[in-house]
Every structure is written in structure tokens, then in C-alpha cells.
A and B are shown apart, each in its own frame.
Chain A
Amino acid sequence: MSHLRPDIRHRAEELVSLYPRARSAMLPLLHLAQEQDGYLSEPAIVEIAELTGTSAADVRGTAAFYDMIHLEPVGRYVVGVCTNIACLLNGAQEMLDHAVRSLGCAIGSTSADGLFTLEETECLADCDRAPCVQINHRYVRTTTTQAFDQVIDQLREGQLDHEVPSHGTLVRVRRQGGLRVSREELAAQRSNAAAARAQRDAAKVEKP
């Protein structure tokens, strides 16, 4: 019995088929599991192990290395406030302190209503709009505390579903079709190319 919903399970299998080795799909599959559950749940770990040909311990151990993968349940919106250098110089600490008060939860915890989880993040590469805030990994570009509160109010009222979709970085990423070139074709192409190049190299040597 699959824990992943049929549509997500289907996308997971498609992802696995894109890589020469199944384990390579590990990180994308962790994102898919979070798209469904918000965090990496135990049944999802078991299923990802099966899909990638690894063990549950492998999945758990790999997932723990990566900041974006949550090993415990999170709120509907994960609010990340960057406090790294460019943001720090532009009021990030004040923004983070404000977020703690405004959301009513400490850094790394979830608000009582289950809506928000607050995180202090490392650089999110949007430093010209500092301090940088991401919600569910969408840049919301609220550089003032007033703008931050506005966005939070809109989220509470469900008005920003388009700008800030639910969990899962890949929620809107869709590859159209699988691989178009088989591994045999690629191998043949490679050896043909090598032979052609060797021929051209030989021709060059003969010229003088």
C-alpha cells in the first residue's frame, strides 16, 4: 500500500526513470514527500527507500543533512528570514525579532494555530531586496515589517494561494515526457563521435 498519493507516486516513478541510478532521485523525492505531508513522514521514508533502492536509514541519514527537509511536522507556511551578511546589514535581526512577535512562535517552532513555522535561514540569494523573506520557498519581498505583516494577514485570509503555493519546491515543476534518447543510442553516438574526431585528428597530422 503506497503512502504517497497516486499522482505523487506517479511523478516519483517518472523522476526515478530520468537518472542512470535510482538513488539519484533522492533529493527530488524528499521534496515530493514534503509536498504531500509538509514534512518527511516515516511512511514516506520507507517508500522513498523502496523507490531509490536504499534503506530507510539511508533516506533518514541523507535527509538529515539538508536544511530544506523537515523531519518533524511544520505549519502550513514555512517562513524563512535570512540573517546572513547582506540582510544583517539591512535590518534582518529586527525583521526576525518582529517575525517572532508577529507570528507568535520562536525560531524553529510552529504557531499554535498550526499556520506558521518560523526559520532563520542562510543566504537565499536575493540580496538586493534585503532583508530577504521566503515563505514556502517563494520570495515575498517584504523588506519592511509593515509589508511583512500585510503578507502574513493575506496568508491568514487565504488570499495569496497563487503567490505562495503549498509545500514542496517542485509543486509547479513538471517535466514534459521522459528521456528521449536511450542509453544505447547515447553510447553509440559517443563512440561514433570519438571515431569521427580521431579521423579528423589523423587527417590534420598528415597535412604537413
Chain B
Amino acid sequence: MAALTAPRIVSSRRDYDDSFTLSRFLETGGFSALKKALGMFPEEVAAEVDAASLLGRGGAGFPAGRKWSMLRKSPLSYLVVNGDESEPATFKDHYLVEREPHQLVEGVIIAAYALQVSQVFIFLRGEFALGLERVQQAVNDAYAQGALGQRIFGHDFSLDIVVHCGAGAYICGEETALIEALEGKRGFPRIKPPFFPAVTGLYGEPTVVNNVETMSNLPWIVLNGGAAFAALGEGRSTGTRLFALAGRVNNPGVFEIEMVKNTFRDLIFDPALGGGIPGAKALKAIIPGGVSAPWFGPELLDTPLGQDEVGALGSMLGSGSVVVLDEDSCVVRAVWRITKFFSRESCGQCTPCREGSGWIERVMYRLEHGGGRLEDIDLLLDLCDNIAPGISWPPQQTTICVLGPSIPSSVVSAIKMFREEFVTHVVNGGCPHD
């Protein structure tokens, strides 16, 4: 049975149809966390986030407090909020920007106060047309309420937030590519080091980039204390998290559940969550953490949903997405589509990623559509080894950003787990599912 006793921290208003309106937000405690935060010293607010051990919710899982502490010495210039959610099958930020936009804005103002930044940019992917409307409306509302602009709620702190619109590029979710896009350029990830925008960020100035869900946790943490947040979950994975469940499940959706206390089995099969697989078909594989993550077989269903728990088994919790493949799903077709995605979205700066993604996609295409050869299977592994030598996890990096090293995950997982299906595609001269 799933453990569902934890409070909803970022989706507390989900049962209200008007959860995106100012009136509902104010009726349900809106801005009380901001008012409390403004009565504290900025470093006290930051200390609560530290005490919460809040891990960044974007995908890498870097502790938000530690990211912030890198700016302790140098006065920070910009806070950029990453709402460019584009990892396939990830749709939790979509929920937050459309359904709880005021909570996001309140969290952002709290973060800006804790960091004492001068200006905030909320970067949303361009495909979120409605999300852009609602977050902009929430920003307009915050100005009108005195929660933004000059001397917020009478305190000695002033701030502007600009809502920025992306234009369709997966790579802009990478924080340095996002900064390039925000500077009005192509979304090319920047060469590291420096590893963090805290050193050289927007316009070359110190910048923190935080995910939408990370920001949305802040009002609750300020109101209830970092310790209360850290009391939820286990180990390094504190609090709750939004999981986006999709693929072959009866009840796909975004679910906020306590970290570690629930397993993949709970998420997929509990009647209050995923509700099992249509037609009671057998589960074939799951893709935890987005298509950049290595796959799990049914034998790992009882793995707890925690950062280190999933990491120890050679994959990642990543973006909080979970995709279910059932017995009728064709893994070759799935891998072909995933590699086609990476091939389309590679920015083209680095040879292993640019050439490797296209090459792998073409091999996968011929396997799926007829014309594949038996030696293609080892060719795929060799190509993957060239992109991320050793094809281990976490992957070795031959490229500026992690897009390239993410390509082998699905290819290698599928060959390891379902090699005979690749062989069948070759022998059959195409997909047996067609």
C-alpha cells in the first residue's frame, strides 16, 4: 500500500478548479509565507531552505541550499527560474505553472529575498501558452497586492519579475543554454568550467538558476520550517515530490507523494495513484526519471522513490517522470523514437552528440522499419561507447553538456534487457508489432 499521509506541499490547491486565481490563492493562505519571510533576515530564510535539505527538482538533484551558498560571499545579480520543462514524459512543472502560478511567484519572491537579488526572470517554455498567461497574471496580481515592486509589503526590499518565453528547444532546459536563450541567442550550452552560473551567469554576472518545483516548495518551508520538511522522506531525499506518471497506465497524471516512503510499484499500481496497467497486462519495463535515464525491469519495481535509492541501482530519479511500458510495447520502436528526439534536439556543438545521435537514430530506424542487420546491435553499443566511454552510469562525458551522454541510456538498457527483440526485428525484416 502506498504511504499517502504526507501533506501536499506544492499541490495543496489541486482540488480547486479555480486554483490559479488570486482569490483562491489568498483564501488559502497566499502570501502569508512571504510576509513571514520578510520579517526574517535573508540568511535566516536561506538557513531554513538549508535545513530542509531541499534537493533541486529540475533533474540533477543538486541541493538548493548549497547552490545558494555559493553566492554567500559575492552579491548575487540574478535569479533565473527554469520552467523550460521539456524532458519527454515530464509534465509536473506544467501542472505548477498552469494550476498554482501564484504559489510559484510567492516562492520566487521568497528566494529573491533570501538571495537579495536585483531582478528575476521566470523562463517558461514557449509551448506553455496558457502557463505563460497565468504566471504573467500572477505576477501582475503580485504587483497589485504590493507583493512585488517597490518596498514589498512596506519592507526595505524591492524586486521586479519578468516572465520570459522560450521558443521550442529541449536544450534550453540546460541552465547555461537557458541563459544563452535569455540573452537572445541560440541555446548553446556554455563550456565548463566555470561549472556554475553562480560564477559566470546571465550577462557574465553571478546568477542562480532554480527549477519551478524547487521554487514552489519555498512558501511551505518558510511557513512550517525546514525541519518539518526534512522530517518527511528519508536520507538525502527529503520532503515530497511531484511524480509525472505516463505511458501504459490506467490513471496517468501528476502525483505529489512523500519521497522514499513509496516505491515504483506503489506509484504505478496503487488505486489512488496510477491504478495499474490497462487490460491488466504485464509490466515490461519502466523509464524512471525521464528518457535520459537507464531503464528498470519489473524486478526493480519495489525500489523506493528516492534520489540515492534509484541512483544506487544505476539510474536516476531525474525529472520525476516515470514511463511504463507494458508487454505489448515495442522496445525497439520506443528506443528509435527516443533517439530521434535526441538527434533532433542536439544543439550540434559537440561531435559525439551531433554525429552520434543521428547515426544511432538511423540504425534504430532501419531496425524498426526493416533493413536492420544483426551486427547493428553491437554497432549501437560501440556508438554509445564513443559518446560516453565505458557506457557506465553516471556516464563519462565527452561533450559540453549532458545531452550527449544521455543518448546511450535507452539504447543500452533495451539491448541489455531485450536483446532478443532486436534480433527478432532483424530476422523478421521489421517490427513484429506492425
Interface string of A120-158 (1 = CB under 8 A from B): 001111111010001011110000000000000000000
Closest 5 CB pairs of A and B: A26-B184, A67-B168, A68-B168, A180-B149, A66-B167
Return B385 CB to nearest CB of chain A, in Å. 24
Q: Which residues of A contact B166 (CB under 8 A)?
A: 27, 66, 68
A14 to chain B, nearest CB (A): 11
Per a CB cutoff under 8 Å, which of B75, B170, B246 touches A128? B246
Cβ A193 vs Cβ B116 within 8 A: yes
CB of B345 within 8 A of CB of A122, answer yes
* Bound CA span A138–B133, Å: 12
Could you say which residues of chain B place their CB within 8 Å of the CB of A123? 86-90, 341
Q: In the assembled complex, which residues on chain A have CB atoms less than 8 Å from the CB atom of B25? A: none
Residues on A with C-beta less than 8 A from B132 are 169-170, 173
Q: Scoring A residues 11 to 43 as 1 if CB is less than 8 Å from chain B, else 0, what string do you get?
A: 000000011110111111011000000000000
* In the complex, chain A residues 59-101 whose Cβ is within 8 Å of any chain B Cβ: 61-63, 65-69, 83-86, 88-90
Measured in the bound complex, the distance between the Cα atoms of B148 and A23 in whole Å is: 25
Does A159 sit at the interface, judged by CB under 8 A? Answer: no
Interface segment among B153-161, B257-265, B304-312, B390-398: the answer is B153-161
Residues 42-55 of A, flagged 1 when their CB comes within 8 A of B and 0 if not, give: 00000000001010
Residues of B within 8 A of A (CB): 41-43, 75, 85-91, 93-94, 116, 118-119, 125-130, 132-133, 136, 139-140, 143-144, 148-150, 156-160, 162-170, 181-187, 203, 244-248, 252-254, 287, 291, 321, 323-325, 329, 333-334, 337-338, 341, 344-345, 347
With an 8 A cutoff between CB atoms, is A207 at the interface? no
Inter-chain contact B329/A137, CB cutoff 8 Å: no
Closest to A80 in B: B127
Known: A61-B186, A170-B132. A88 touches B334 (CB 8 A): yes
Can you offer 13 A-B residue contacts whose CB atoms are under 8 A?
Answer: A18-B162, A27-B126, A52-B184, A61-B186, A67-B168, A68-B166, A86-B246, A127-B247, A169-B127, A175-B162, A180-B148, A181-B160, A191-B75
Contacts of B167 in A (CB 8 A): 27, 30-31, 63, 66-69
The segment from A2-10, A104-112, A182-190 found at the interface with B is: A182-190
The answer on a CB contact under 8 Å between B118 and A197 is no
> Which B residue sits closest to A53, measured CB to CB?
B184
Interface hub of B126, B156, B158, B166 (most chain A Cβ within 10 A): B126
Q: Please indicate the chain B residues that have their CB under 8 angstroms from the CB of A86 in the complex.
A: 88-89, 246-247, 252, 323
Q: How far is the CA of A169 from the CA of B88 in the complex (A)?
A: 21
Does A162 interact with chain B (Cβ within 8 Å)? no
Assembled-state Cα–Cα distance A174/B132 (Å): 10
Contact at A24–B184, with CB atoms within 8 Å? yes
The answer for the CA separation of A28 and B247 in the assembled complex, in Å, is 33
Number of chain A interface residues as a range: 35 or more
Interface pair B118/A125, CB less than 8 Å apart: no
Interface pair B150/A27, CB less than 8 Å apart: no
The one of B93, B127, B203, B246 that contacts A68, using a Cβ cutoff of 8 Å: B127
Contact B127 A189 (CB under 8 A): no
Closest to A174 in B: B136
User: Given A18, A180, A186, which contacts B118 in the complex, CB threshold below 8 Å?
Assistant: A186
Judge whether A85 and B247 touch: CB under 8 Å. Answer: yes
Q: How far is the CA of A125 from the CA of B246 in the complex (A)?
A: 10
Tell me the complex Cα distance, A197–B325, Å. Answer: 53
* B183 touching A21, Cβ below 8 Å: yes
Q: Which residues of A contact B126 (CB under 8 A)?
A: 27, 31, 66, 68, 137, 169
Contacts of B93 in A (CB 8 A): 125
Q: Which residues of B contact A125 (CB under 8 A)?
A: 85-86, 90-91, 93-94, 125, 127-128
A28: chain B residues within 8 A (beta carbon): 164-165
Contact A122 B329 (CB under 8 A): no
- Is the CB–CB distance between A187 and B118 below 8 Å? yes
**Distance A23 CA – B94 CA, assembled complex (angstroms):** 27
Q: A174 vs B334: C-alpha distance in the bound complex, in angstroms?
A: 40
Nearest neighbor of A172 in chain B, beta-carbon distance? B133
Q: Which of B136, B144, B203 sits near A21, CB closer than 8 Å?
A: B203
User: Does A208 belong to the interface (CB within 8 Å)?
Assistant: no
Of all chain B residues, the one with the shortest Cβ separation from A26 is B184
- Structural contact, A128 and B337, CB atoms closer than 8 A: no
Residues of B within 8 A of A138 (CB): 129-130
B158, A84: Cβ atoms closer than 8 Å: no
Name A173's contact: one of B133, B181, B254 (CB within 8 Å).
B133
Q: A125-B91, A128-B246, A185-B158 are in contact. List 5 more A-B contacts (CB 8 A).
A: A27-B166, A85-B247, A86-B246, A169-B127, A189-B118
Residues in A neighbouring B130, C-beta threshold 8 A: 138-139
Do B185 and A137 touch across chains, with their CB atoms under 8 A apart?
Answer: no
Chain A CB within 10 Å — which of B89, B166, B184, B253 has the most? B184
Q: Which residues of chain B have C-beta atoms less than 8 A from A67's C-beta?
A: 167-169
CA distance A189 to B181 in the complex (A): 28
CA distance A128 to B248 in the complex (A): 10
Bound-state CA distance A24–B121 (Å) is: 11
